[in-house]
Amino acid sequence: MSQGKLKLVGANGGANASSTVNAAAIAAANRGAVDGANRVSLKSVFTSLTKNMNAVLSFLIREYGIGSCFKVRCIDIHYATGVSVDTVQRILTKFAYEGFLTKRKIRDGRFQGLEINLKPICNHYQNYILNEASVALATVTGFQSSIVSSFNKSTYSEEALKILAVTDEEIKSKYPSVAGIGFGTDQLRQIVDKRDKYGEHLNMLLMSLEYVNYEIENGGFKDSKGKPVEKTLGYIFQVLLRAGRLSKPEGFKTAEEQAADEVEEQLRAVKEAKKRKIDALYEIWLHDLSDEEREAILQKTNTPSTRYLRHYWDTNIYGQKGGGND
């Protein structure tokens, strides 16, 4: 897309929906290099979108997330948003031209539709709805309250709110390898938005991040053929979006389990040290035992001498001295 000014015209063709768009700001957003001036331009971009454009874009973000490819049909978007199929097609073409997404026609078995990938600018769009549009709806041209409320935190379950409270800094601290592949709060929010909307479970989502962190640090993920997964971020995102959890990896232990292992290891070490001490004391006693004392101890038993001498020492020497209370 060329730099400079482009004309973003609403898919319904209304002249009042036209708005001058700064292509450089969109390109900067997709590169992750947005400055103050670009933010102002992006706000102009977002407020210029028509009601139908907002309906389509917010639906795609909620349902499929940002940054990974997904398959969809225009008829599905129509059923979800009420926007006509023809208008959906024009909107998607416009969004692709402006840099909001990439799309291509695909045929996969019985499925015939589009493969779409929402670009990073959609993160800025989503953040704008959460942070600004929900506060000042009256100033935002084309936004519907229903679109904003779909992102409003008051609509989330208690479990969802707990997850949404996690910050990027916490992810970097608790799950450094997860953060290292680019997974952060944007991905968490997309997963929560989709799953919480339909009442699907979220209780294993944060624990699954521990599993992901462990897998990455221990060789990474493998596909069904045993080959390394190349696009780990997209793979993890889609699994969590679809299932809400990952299976516990073989060998994984929680922090509590690791702490328990350490305590058990300390206990084993203490017991082993105590046993070595007792054995050494017995060997000293046995070394100092005279022949007469040995015969006197063994004359009343038919038990093999080595075994009985140890029994005698344990009971009458070590035990009598209070050693059994160590």
Structure confidence by residue, pLDDT tens digits, 153-194 = 446 788 888 898 888 899 999 999 999 999 999 899 899 988
Mean pLDDT of 79-85: 85
According to the model, what pLDDT value does residue 147 have?
Answer: 45
- Rounded to whole angstroms, the Cα distance separating 230 from 212 reads 15
- Rounded to whole angstroms, the Cα distance separating 129 from 119 reads 17
According to the model, what pLDDT value does residue 283 have?
Answer: 94
Note the CATH architecture for domain 5-149.
Answer: Orthogonal Bundle (1.10)
- Rounded to whole angstroms, the Cα distance separating 196 from 190 reads 10
Mean pLDDT of 15-29: 61
Supply the mean pLDDT for the chain: 81
Q: Tell me, what amino acid is at 208?
A: S
Domain ranges in the chain are: 5-149, 156-243, 258-325
| Percent of the chain with pLDDT strictly greater than 90 | 36
The residues facing 6 across adjacent strands are: 21
According to the model, what pLDDT value does residue 58 have?
Answer: 87
Contact 323, 281 (CB under 8 A): yes
Q: Among 45-49, 149-153, 163-167, whose mean pLDDT is lowest? A: 149-153
Work out the pLDDT band at 322, boundaries 50, 70, 90: low
Work out the pLDDT band at 207, boundaries 50, 70, 90: very high
Q: Tell me, what amino acid is at 20?
A: T
Q: Is the pTM of this model over 0.75?
A: no
Mean pLDDT of 41-67: 86
Helix (H, G, I), strand (E, B) or coil at 7: strand
Q: Which residues contact 162 (CB under 8 A, 6 or more apart)?
A: none
The secondary structure of 242-267 as a DSSP string is: HHS--PPPTT---HHHHHHHHHHHHH
Work out the pLDDT band at 117, boundaries 50, 70, 90: very high
Work out the pLDDT band at 146, boundaries 50, 70, 90: very low
DSSP state of 127: H
pLDDT at 145 over 90: no
Work out the pLDDT band at 78, boundaries 50, 70, 90: confident
Mean pLDDT of 316-325: 71
Greater confidence, 36 or 158?
158
Work out the pLDDT band at 321, boundaries 50, 70, 90: low
